[in-house]
């Protein structure tokens, strides 16, 4: 595998989307923008969203759908690592937004689901029906926190429903190649959970002692201090999870029995997507250092998304 740096100076980048013109769309959470990075490293703002744009995905209409967490406060550690430290002083509320790539204009689709306000929407994945699953991490403050949930929304903004709520720190979310399994990553416990999908926005739930009806695929394979962030799935169905603190990508087989780790030079390796020739390039956001990198010649091609860019 060959690692190359594409851009630096980004303000906590996340949510990468590999575009067919070779550019990468991503969000800069601390800047509040949807941003485009061209192959030569040029950075331009597509939309100034405010709050804390987080996960992003292309929908069936070609627009970009954004999970906006409402904003974080930040700190810089002694080693230069820039990281979030809880709910922003000017927190503007969680919401799902849709951005027109041609104009940069955006509208709000959802800020409540079944009567409760969204707190910190985090990541998003579209199914073949044109709807999307998304996670809400919740929101943490100095002495308390709001728990989050897993939800399903329609792309035209007509309705959103609860898949599971409350859920502890759900972060990355993805579908298996056949669309029959919904995965999500739990940040604090460094666990990967799965639901069996039974229909559009419908899942089968397990009973107690499952805390939210999901089955656990993997639990903290890296040990102490590891945290899980966003994820992508490869063509063989392996779950590739951006891993905090240990810094890198953890690859977990669909049954959880096989696990490996690719180390990267940032404790806040937050997200990844597949693109490039034959989907064999992995674009990775190194948020603590503000970089977008590419890893060429990844061993397994990435899964083609339902609505590729």
Which pLDDT tens digit goes with each residue over 199-217?
Answer: 999 999 999 999 999 999 9
Domain span at residue 143 reads: 2-296
Q: Enter the pTM of the model.
A: 0.97
What is the per-residue pLDDT for 222? 63
What's the total number of domains in the chain? Answer: 1
Q: What's the distance, CA 282 to chain centroid?
A: 14
142-177 confidence digits (pLDDT tens): 999 999 999 999 999 999 999 999 999 999 999 999
Residue 301 lies in a domain: no
Model confidence at 309, pLDDT cuts 50, 70, 90, reads confident
Cβ neighbors of 25 (< 8 A, separation 6 or more) are: 15, 16, 17, 19, 34, 35, 36, 37, 46, 56, 64, 309
Residue 309 lies in a domain: no
Task: Give me the mean pLDDT over the 223-239 stretch.
Answer: 92
Residue 274 lies in a domain: yes
Judge whether residue 307 has pLDDT over 70.
yes
Q: Where residue 207 sits, what CATH number does that domain have?
A: 2.120.10.30
188, burial (CB in 10 Å: exposed 0-12, middle 13-18, buried 19+): middle
- Which residue, 109, 104, 152, 161, is CA-closest to 129? 152
What is the per-residue pLDDT for 295? 98
Residue 100 lies in a domain: yes
Judge whether residue 221 has pLDDT over 90.
no
What is the per-residue pLDDT for 223? 65
Judge whether residue 37 has pLDDT over 90.
yes
Residue 308 lies in a domain: no
Residue 306 lies in a domain: no
How many whole angstroms separate alpha carbon 177 and alpha carbon 180?
8
Residue 234 lies in a domain: yes
Residue 13 lies in a domain: yes
């Amino acid at each position: 595998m060959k690692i190359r740096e594409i851009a630096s100076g980004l303000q906590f980048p996340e949510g990468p989307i590999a575009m067919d013109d070779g550019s990468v769309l991503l969000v800069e959470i601390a800047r509040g923008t949807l941003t485009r990075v061209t192959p030569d490293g040029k950075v331009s703002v597509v939309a100034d969203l405010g709050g804390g744009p987080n996960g992003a995905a292309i929908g069936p209409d070609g627009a970009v759908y954004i999970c906006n967490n409402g904003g974080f406060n930040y700190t810089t550690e002694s080693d230069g690592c820039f990281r979030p430290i809880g709910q922003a002083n000017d927190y503007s509320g969680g919401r799902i937004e849709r951005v027109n790539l041609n104009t940069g204009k955006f509208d709000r689709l959802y800020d409540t689901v079944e009567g409760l306000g969204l707190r910190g929407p985090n990541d998003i994945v579209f199914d073949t029906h044109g709807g999307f699953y998304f996670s809400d991490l919740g929101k943490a403050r100095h002495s308390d926190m709001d728990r989050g949930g897993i939800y399903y929304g329609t792309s035209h903004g007509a309705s959103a429903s609860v898949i599971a709520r409350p859920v502890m720190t759900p972060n990355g979310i993805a579908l298996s190649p056949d669309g029959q399994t919904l995965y999500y990553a739990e940040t604090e416990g460094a666990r990967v959970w799965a639901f069996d999908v039974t229909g559009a926005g419908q899942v089968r739930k397990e009973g107690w002692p499952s805390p939210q009806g999901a089955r656990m695929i993997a639990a903290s394979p890296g040990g102490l201090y590891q945290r899980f962030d966003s994820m992508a799935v490869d063509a063989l169905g392996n779950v590739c999870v951006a891993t905090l603190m240990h810094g890198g990508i953890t690859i977990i087989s669909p049954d959880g029995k096989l696990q490996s780790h690719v180390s990267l030079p940032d404790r806040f390796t937050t997200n990844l997507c597949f693109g490039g020739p034959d989907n064999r390039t992995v674009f990775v956001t190194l948020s603590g250092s503000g970089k977008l990198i590419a890893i060429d010649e990844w061993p397994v091609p990435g899964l083609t998304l339902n609505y590729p860019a």
